[in-house]
Amino acid sequence: MSLPSFGVGTFRLTGQTVIDSVRNALELGYRAIDTAQIYGNEAEVGQAIAESGVPRDELFITTKIWVDNHAADRLLPSLRESLAKLRTDHVDLLLIHWPAPGSAVALREYMTALAEAKTLGLTRQIGVSNFNIELTRQAIAVVGQGQIATNQIELSPYLQNPALTAFLQQEGIAVTSYMTLAYGKVLKDPVLAAIADKHQATVAQVALAWALQLGYAVIPSSTKRENLASNLLARELQLDADDMAAIAALERNGREVDPPGLAPAWD
């Protein structure tokens, strides 16, 4: 089962805002939806999906296990709570959201529990998020080669993570880019603006097309229907070699998400 290359994210969206965003996304043709336990919006995402009328088998739903639920006796019960909120009997992709802070729970313990969720049919695929190369290696050693569908990591024109992305692609693990627009910072970039003008596109479309052309999946979010629609058009935008080279030169290790106590030693 392949990973969709384009989905809608729900980070920082709650209440009616996330219901409206997911509803609009589904009406516009999105079929992959990304949420997480810590977002506090799984019930609202589930409501929006239920009210949309889109058949479950057309959807690809991702959620993520929070660090409080890493322990073997918490992971599966917490997942079942998530499934109840999402109004489904399974998710399509289940991720470990962050590695255990200070290795409070052994990686082997939570990766084994994650694999059990797949065996039980509670998720179709499993993966990780915010794992560096070494932690990804350890995860592969626990669950086996070919079992980790993706590593969802922060990537943008300002943070291109070449060592980690090369390792993941070498291992056959899909790269999912979050924060592709760097909290909107890239929208003001003159290099990206020039590329956008050249293609009669938006800067957001250029950044998303850049990630897609590198083979990454993207999950941008928006509270505005017109932006959700505009973002989808990135799939049709073809950047040329000069464009890609110009974007490659924007690398500045511009990390936006680096929570103390959670973040691993980045590659």
Measured CA to CA, the distance from residue 247 to residue 151 in angstroms comes to 22
User: Do residues 86 and 122 lie in contact, with contact meaning Cβ atoms separated by under 8 Å?
Assistant: no
Q: Taking Cα atoms as reference points, which of 118, 167, 112, 156 lies closest to residue 256?
A: 156
Task: Determine whether 39 is an active site residue.
Answer: yes
Q: Taking Cα atoms as reference points, which of 73, 75, 71, 68 lies closest to residue 94?
A: 75
99: which DSSP letter?
Answer: P
Of the residues 39, 158, 178, 216, which is catalytic? Answer: 39
Give me the count of residues in the chain: 267
Report the chain's terminal Cα–Cα distance, integer Å: 29
What's the count of helices (H) and strands (E) in the chain, helices before strands?
Answer: 10, 8
Angle 231-163-126 from CA coordinates, rounded to 5°: 65
Sheet strands side by side (includes 174-178): 8-9, 32-34, 60-65, 91-96, 123-129, 148-154, 174-178, 217-218
Catalytic residues: 39
